[in-house]
């Protein structure tokens, strides 16, 4: 099916792949009839031998402003969904790598594109680095929970370049920097350490926070992530030892949108709006239903949220990306991605061909910022042409 959106045509796509998981983790038809991957190919009448592939672990991205704006320039853009569209409760990142591999193979073998460039925007950044690292040197045969997932045997094809836009280090590291350290009982979100509760009506500490408090806050965030991981591993061990029909268990993680940066703009300063995050008032979203990792499963926690187990950490994968050029674009007023993350990735990249650009005043989504959106595309297009990718 092709839908005309002004000059941009949207072609609906479906790929079907097999999956032998012993635990069904995708809802409905997709879970019982193999794996169905949905996507949209955005393009005008302009011809191109290069495809820019957007993918995010859980979002579909086809309605975001950047892909459509790139397509309106005459570029060919694929918004590729994983098997977990708009629901990351049971997401396994190692399987998303296979999903992206299916899309890259489709682009080359079925559509005949000569060049494929991964566009890792936001949560797609660490995923794109993980994918390219595994395409260059595959290592994954199992998930962190020990379930087989044969990335090594899949032979996923390499991309020709990676664009890293407004992207964080990983879901696990971002969650850890946002998880509320005041929670002392995972079963009761009302039991909190008042010293660490920065969202309290009358908090013990107020911004600007001193270095000692920030250090303790960060230590307790990491400790909470690891306590949950320890509990997850004990639950998986109990399920395995019971030798019964139960193989998996869902659970809720309370209060996961809490960062001292959002209340104190002097911490890792950039041009972001204080007392705000990309989802709105952080005091509200901290307990809301759309916070990071709010609903998850044991296996999914280890794969995407565990600080020590997730394989998508960019610090691990950036050094492994050696054979293709990488472009990093940072937005100076980003209210989602911490300003420290881009520099850490840039320092870790293994490729000799790496370029960095900063868009002054740009927010995470470029909402109401058409000039910054255009600047982002200008940078990406110029970089691609200079490297023979267009």
How confident is the model over 277-297, as pLDDT tens digits? Answer: 999 999 999 999 999 999 999
Is the peptide bond prior to 180 cis by the omega test (within 30 degrees of 0)?
no
Q: Model confidence over 17-48: pLDDT tens digits? A: 877 677 777 765 544 567 889 999 999 999 99
Torsion angle, alpha carbons of 210, 211, 214, 219, to 10: -150
Name the pTM for this structure: 0.96
CB 287 within 8 A of CB 254: yes
**167, containing H or E segment:** none
Name the token pair of 242. Answer: 């019971």
Pairwise CA distance, residues 263 & 261, whole Å: 6
Pairing of strands 76-80, 50-55: parallel
Number of Cβ within 10 Å of residue 74's Cβ equals 16
| Digit-coded pLDDT (tens) for 331-358 | 999 989 988 999 999 999 999 999 999 9
pLDDT of residue 339: 86
Alpha-carbon dihedral sign for residues 67, 71, 76, 81: positive
Q: How far apart are CA 328 and CA 346, in angstroms?
A: 8
pLDDT at 190 over 70: yes
At residue 114, the pLDDT reads 98
3-state class (DSSP) for residue 227: helix
Both tokens of 351, joined, read 């490729």
Q: What is the pLDDT of residue 3?
A: 61
254: nearest Cα among 188, 194, 193, 173: 188
From the CB of residue 109, how many other CB atoms can be counted at a distance below 10 Å? 10
- Per-residue burial over 371-389, b = 16 or more CB atoms within 10 Å of its CB, e = otherwise: ebbebbeebbbebbeebeb
CB 191 within 8 A of CB 355: no
pLDDT tier, 1 (very low <50, low <70, confident <90, very high otherwise): low
Classified as helix, coil or strand, 43 is strand
Q: Are 266 and 254 in contact (CB under 8 A)?
A: no
Burial of 190 (0-12, 13-18, 19+ CB in 10 A): exposed
- Residue 237 phi/psi, 5° resolution? -65, -40
Q: Which of 213, 96, 191, 85 is nearest to 149 (CA)?
A: 96
The proportion of the chain whose per-residue pLDDT surpasses 70, expressed as a percent, equals 96
What domains can you pick out in the chain, each with its CATH number?
Answer: 2-170+310-386 (3.40.50.1820), 174-305 (no CATH)
More confident residue, 95 or 24: 95
Cβ of 247: how many Cβ atoms within 10 Å?
A: 16
18: phi then psi, degrees, rounded to nearest 5: -90, 155
Q: Which helix (H) or strand (E) segment is 304 a member of?
A: none
What is the C-alpha end-to-end distance of the chain, expressed in Å? 27
């Amino acid at each position: 099916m092709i839908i005309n959106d002004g000059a941009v045509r949207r072609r609906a796509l479906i790929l079907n792949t097999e999956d032998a998981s012993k635990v069904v983790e995708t809802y409905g038809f997709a879970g019982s009839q193999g794996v169905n991957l949905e996507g949209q190919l955005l393009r005008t009448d302009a011809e191109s031998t290069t495809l820019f592939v957007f993918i995010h672990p859980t979002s579909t991205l086809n309605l975001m402003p950047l892909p459509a704006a790139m397509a309106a320039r005459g570029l060919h853009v694929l918004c590729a969904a994983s098997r977990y569209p708009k629901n990351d409760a049971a997401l396994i990142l190692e399987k998303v790598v296979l999903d992206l591999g299916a899309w890259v193979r489709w682009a080359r073998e079925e559509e005949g594109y000569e060049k494929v460039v991964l566009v890792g925007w936001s949560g797609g950044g660490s995923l794109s680095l993980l994918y390219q690292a595994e395409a260059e040197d595959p290592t994954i045969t199992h998930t962190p929970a020990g379930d087989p997932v044969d990335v090594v045997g899949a032979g996923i094809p390499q991309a020709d370049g990676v664009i890293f836009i407004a992207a964080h280090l990983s879901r696990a590291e971002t969650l850890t920097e946002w998880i509320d350290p005041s929670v002392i009982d995972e079963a009761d979100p009302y039991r909190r350490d008042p010293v660490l509760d920065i969202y309290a009506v009358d908090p013990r500490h107020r911004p600007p926070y001193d270095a000692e408090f920030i250090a303790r806050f960060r230590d307790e965030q990491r400790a909470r992530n690891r306590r949950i991981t320890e509990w997850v591993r004990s639950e998986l061990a109990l399920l395995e030892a019971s030798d019964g029909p139960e193989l998996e268990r869902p659970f809720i993680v309370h209060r996961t949108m809490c960062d001292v940066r959002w209340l104190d703009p002097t911490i890792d300063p950039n041009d972001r709006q204080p007392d705000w995050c990309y989802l709105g008032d952080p005091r509200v979203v901290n307990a809301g239903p759309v916070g990071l990792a709010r609903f998850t499963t044991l296996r999914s926690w280890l794969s995407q949220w565990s600080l020590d187990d997730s394989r998508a950490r960019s610090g691990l994968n950036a050094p492994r990306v050696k054979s293709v050029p990488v472009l990093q674009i940072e937005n100076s007023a980003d209210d989602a991605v911490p300003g420290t993350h881009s520099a850490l990735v840039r320092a870790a990249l293994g490729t000799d061909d790496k370029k960095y650009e900063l868009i002054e005043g740009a927010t995470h989504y470029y909402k109401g910022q058409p000039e910054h959106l255009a600047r982002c595309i200008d940078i990406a297009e110029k970089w691609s042409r200079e490297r023979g990718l267009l």
